[in-house]
Amino acid sequence: MTRIVSFIIQKGGCGKTTTTVNTASYLSRQGYRVLAVDLDPQGNLTQHFGYDSESLDLTLLDLFQDNTRFDDVVLRRSESLHILPNNLASAAEEIPLFHTISREYLLRDVLFPVKNNYDYILIDCPPNLGLFSINALAASTDFIMVISPEFFPMKAIKPLYETYKMVRQKLNHSLQFRGVLMAMCDFRTRHSQEILKILQKNFPHKLFRAYIRTNVTLKEASAYGVPIFEYDEHSAGAFDYQNFVEEFLRDDDRNIRKREYYQRRFESLPVEEQEEIMLFAQRNLSSYNQSRLDLQNNNQALQEALLIERNKIIEKLFPYRASAMVEDWKK
């Protein structure tokens, strides 16, 4: 089943777009088929993927208005990473859309015929709880709140939670609250530490353990128009986003199958090759900023990071194909 995940908070500058872009990029590099949806008329996601949003002839808005076909709008950045772009033209059009029938389901209806072509559809929401954000929640299977641990973003949580309850009751019964991701964190300040405590208390089971540190390479990558994994794979930003997506994937069936596949592939190799791979994995690991490993249960986190590095190498040697992978391997 396709997972449709909204990254949402009705406040700008919390890291939603950066999170959507880098999550989409990481998942597609892992062999998943991904569609990233730019639901913000500012077109930041479109730009972060390197497109000049204002020069596009067709956008998501044309699909909402039934002017054109999906295939004519979607941008194919790579075989496994597609983008539904947006630009400022649609900002003015939100109001007229208010009068269309089933206006809350515009996005759901656009995605319905194509969703089986993707493993993940990720939606970057605008910084308000207007019609577009409601459309995102009505179309999603899951949503993740993205907040920076500061005073004003915190105030956005309660109204968003109320909106979630309303959408679940009236528009989308199966919508799941997947969790809270802290992005743009600087825990050196006492203020942030206090906010962290509040979040831990209020979301004991919903707060992702992984968090995204404030890191200038993430800003540079967005200005450069590429995901962090293409800009600097060994930056702290890449490390943090990898951690987040791996945690996000952990309870996904398909990912569990994929990890088993890597394990079996690894075990099927001669011992010398296994050792060589582990050596490479360790070398990759050492180039990361290890500071945050010290913050957690050291050994467990380190073993997990090592496994991820190992699996990346196996992926390069024996690429995983999202759909037929398990069957192929059994043959």
Ligand X SMILES: Nc1ncnc2c1ncn2[C@@H]1O[C@H](COP(=O)(O)OP(=O)(O)O)[C@@H](O)[C@H]1O
DSSP 177: E
Rank residues 4 and 146 by Cβ distance to ligand X and give the closer one.
146
CB of 223 to ligand X, least distance (A): 7
Residue 218 touches which member of ligand X, Mg ion, none, C-beta under 5-8 Å by kind: ligand X
SS3 154: helix
Task: Name the binder of 130 from ligand X, Mg ion, none, CB < 5-8 A by kind.
Answer: none
Nearest Cα residue to 122 out of 104, 146, 106, 142 = 142
- Judged by CB under 5 A, the stretch of 39-47, 252-260, 274-282, 297-305 that binds Mg ion is 39-47
Q: Is the CB of 16 or the CB of 178 nearer to Mg ion?
A: 16
Torsion sign over Cα 259, 240, 136, 53: negative
**Least CB distance to ligand X at residue 99 (A):** 28
Min dist. Cβ of residue 38 to Mg ion (A)? 9
Contacting Mg ion within 167-196 (CB under 5 A): none
At residue 306, what is the residue type? L
For residue 36, the minimal CB distance to ligand X (Å) is: 13
Name the residue nearer to Mg ion (CB basis): 17 or 46.
17
Q: What is the DSSP letter of 169?
A: H
Give the DSSP H/E element, type plus range, for residue 82. Answer: strand 81-84
Closest residue to Mg ion, based on beta-carbon distance: 17
The H or E element containing residue 54 is: none
Q: How far apart are CA 278 and CA 283, in angstroms?
A: 9
From ligand X, Mg ion, none, which one binds at residue 15 (CB under 5 to 8 Å depending on kind)?
ligand X
CB-based contacts of 260: which residues, under 8 Å, 6+ apart? none
Residue 254: count of CB within 10 angstroms of its CB: 17
The closest of 38, 35, 34 to 64, measured between CA atoms, is 38
Q: Which is nearer to Mg ion, 127 or 179 (CB)?
A: 127
**Which residue's CB is nearer to Mg ion, number 30 or number 140?**
140
Site string for Mg ion, 134-163 (x = CB under 5 A): ------------------------------
What Å distances lie between residue 114 and 66, 74, 120, CA to CA?
Answer: 15, 11, 12
Widest distance between CA atoms in the chain: 67
Identify the CA nearest to 120 among candidates 33, 178, 46, 49.
33
Tell me which of ligand X, Mg ion, none is bound by residue 222, counting a contact when its beta carbon lies within the kind-specific cut-off of 5 to 8 angstroms: ligand X
List residues binding ligand X (CB under 6 A). Answer: 12-18, 44, 127, 183-184, 212, 214-215, 218-219, 222
17 binds Mg ion (CB under 5 A): yes
Collapsing DSSP to helix, strand or coil, 208 comes out as coil
| Residue 283 touches which of Mg ion, ligand X, none (Cβ within 5-8 Å per kind) | none
CA 205 to chain centre: 19
Q: How far is the CB of 218 from ligand X (least distance, A)?
A: 4
Nearer to Mg ion, 126 or 149 (CB): 126
Determine the distance from the C-alpha atom of residue 291 to the mean position of all C-alpha atoms in its chain, rounded to a whole number. 24
What residue 139 binds from Mg ion, ligand X, none (CB within 5 to 8 A, per partner kind)? none
**Token output for 16:** 């939603």
Binding site for Mg ion (CB under 5 A): 16-17, 44
